[in-house]
Amino acid sequence: MEMLLAAAVVVIIGVILFKYLDCDLTLLWNIKFGKQSSDLVGKVVWITGCSSGIGEALAYEFASAGCRLVLSARRENLLNKVKQKCIETSRGALTSDDILVQPLDLLDYNSHPSVTETVFKYFKKVDILVNNAGRSQRGLIVETALEVDRQVFDLDLLAPISVTKAILPYMIKQGGGHIMCTSSVAGKLGAPGSASYTAAKHGIQGFFDTLRIECAPDSISITMACPGPVFSEALVHAFTSEPNKKLNVEMKKSWNRMTAERCAYLMGVAAANKLHEVWLTPNPELFYCYLFQYIPYFAKKIAVKLGQGRANKVKAGIADLH
Ligand X SMILES: NC(=O)c1ccc[n+]([C@@H]2O[C@H](COP(=O)([O-])OP(=O)(O)OC[C@H]3O[C@@H](n4cnc5c(N)ncnc54)[C@H](OP(=O)(O)O)[C@@H]3O)[C@@H](O)[C@H]2O)c1
Cα separation values, 172 from 26, 90, 104, 182, Å: 28, 30, 23, 22
Binding mask 61-90 for ligand X (x = CB under 6 A): ------------xxx---------------
| Residue 182 lies near ligand X (rule: CB under 6 A) | yes
CA angle 52, 53, 59 (to 5 degrees): 75
What is the footprint of ligand X within residues 44-63 (CB under 6 A)? 48-55
Tell me how far the alpha carbon of residue 56 is from its chain's centroid.
Answer: 12
| Residue 268 lies near ligand X (rule: CB under 6 A) | no
122 is catalytic: no
| Residue 282 lies near ligand X (rule: CB under 6 A) | no
Residues in contact with 239: Cβ distance below 8 Å, sequence separation at least 6, in sequence order: 135, 136, 137, 138, 139, 148, 151, 152, 196, 197, 246, 247
| Residue 124 lies near ligand X (rule: CB under 6 A) | no
Segment interacting with ligand X (CB under 6 A) among 99-107, 112-120, 264-272, 303-311: 99-107
What is the footprint of ligand X within residues 236-265 (CB under 6 A)? 237
**How far is the C-alpha of 191 from the C-alpha of 255, rounded, in Å?**
18
Residue type, 28: L
| Residue 232 lies near ligand X (rule: CB under 6 A) | yes
Candidate residues 177, 192, 203, 227; the one interacting with ligand X per rule CB under 6 A: 227
| Residue 138 lies near ligand X (rule: CB under 6 A) | no
* Residues acting as catalytic residues: 197
What residues line the site for ligand X (CB under 6 A)? 48-55, 73-75, 104-107, 132-136, 155, 182, 184, 227, 229-230, 232-234, 237
